[in-house]
Amino acid sequence: MARHIRIAAGTLIACGLFLSMIFGAGVASAQSPAHTNSPAHVYVLTGFLGFQTRLHGAVNKVERGKVPVTVGHALEWSSMAASAIADYQSGKVRSVIIVGYSLGGGNALKMAAQLAEAQVPVALIVTVEPVDVSAVSPNVHRVVNYYLAHGWGSALHGGTNFHGSLRNIVDQNPNLDHFSLAIARENDVVNQVLSAAASSSPQIKSRDPSAAYLAPR
C-alpha cells in the first residue's frame, strides 16, 4: 500500500510539473500594453504551479499603474533573464524589477545573477516565501523579502560585493501559510514595485512603498 501511495504522489508531482510548464509557457510572453510612461519593466516568476500564481492580483494592480509586466513560470527564469538583457541593452527597458513567489522567489535571485553576468543592474527584487534561495548578486540595488517564521520560505542574504539594501520581513501570523502569504502581502508587493518604477521615471508620481495601495482611477 505504501509503495502505491509513493507512486501516486510521484505521478501527481510529475503531472503538476507538466501542467505548470504548459501554462507557464503560455504566460511568459504576456505583457501589458506597450504604450506606458514607465521605462521600468516588471518580471514576475510564479510558483511551481504557474497557473495558480498567487500573484495575479498584484500583477493586475501593477499593470493598472501603467507599468509593463511579463509573467513566467519559475522554471523560465533563464529565458526571462535573456529577454530582460536584450531589452535593457537595446534601450527598451531602463529599470529591471523582479518579483518571485515560492520557487519563483528563489529563481528570481538566479535571474538577477544571470543579469549580473551581462552587467545589467536590477533596481528591485521582491520575493514572497522564497525557496531554494541563493545569495543576492552585487548588481541588485534593493531587495525586500516577505516570509513566514513557520513557513517554507527563508531569509535572504547578500553575496560577495553586494552593497544594496536588503530587508527580510518575517511574518509571525499563525493564520497564514505558504499559499496565503502572497495574497496577504499583495498590496505591500504592489507598493514596493510601483515605488521602484516611479523612481526610475520623472513621468510617474513617486509613492511611499509603506503607504496603502490605491487603485488608479
Give the model confidence (pLDDT) of 27-56 as tens digits. 444 454 444 567 999 999 999 876 556 788
CATH of the domain at 141: 3.40.50.1820
Res 109: pLDDT: 98
194 pLDDT band, cuts 50/70/90, is: very high
CA-wise closest residue to 60 among 29, 26, 18, 32: 32
Task: Answer whether residue 177 shows pLDDT above 60.
Answer: yes
217 part of a folded domain: no
178 part of a folded domain: yes
Give the model confidence (pLDDT) of 75-128 as tens digits. 999 999 999 999 999 999 999 999 999 999 999 999 999 999 999 999 999 999
209 part of a folded domain: no
186 part of a folded domain: yes
Res 32: pLDDT: 45
Tell me which amino acid residue 43 is.
Y
Mean pLDDT of 164-183: 94
Res 36: pLDDT: 55
9 pLDDT band, cuts 50/70/90, is: very low
Domain ranges, residue 131:
2-199
Please state the pTM of the whole predicted model: 0.79
Structural domain total, the chain: 1
171 part of a folded domain: yes
1 pLDDT band, cuts 50/70/90, is: very low
118 part of a folded domain: yes
Structural contact between residues 45 and 102, judged by C-beta atoms closer than 8 angstroms: no
**Which of these ranges, 1-15, 95-109, 149-163, 173-187, has the smallest mean pLDDT?**
1-15
Q: If DSSP states are collapsed to H, E and C, what string results for the chain?
A: CHHHHHHHHHHHHHHHHHHHHHHHHHHCCCECCCCCCCCEEEEEECCCCCCCCCCHHHHHHHHHCCCCEEEECHHHHHHHHHHHHHHHHHCCCCEEEEEEECHHHHHHHHHHHHHHHCCCCECEEEEECCCCCCCECCCECEEEEEEECCCCCCCCCECCCCCCEEEEEEECCCCCCCCCHHHHCHHHHHHHHHHHHHHCCCCCCCCCCCCCCCCCC
164 part of a folded domain: yes
Structural contact between residues 98 and 124, judged by C-beta atoms closer than 8 angstroms: yes
Tell me the C-alpha distance between 199 and 40, whole Å.
Answer: 9
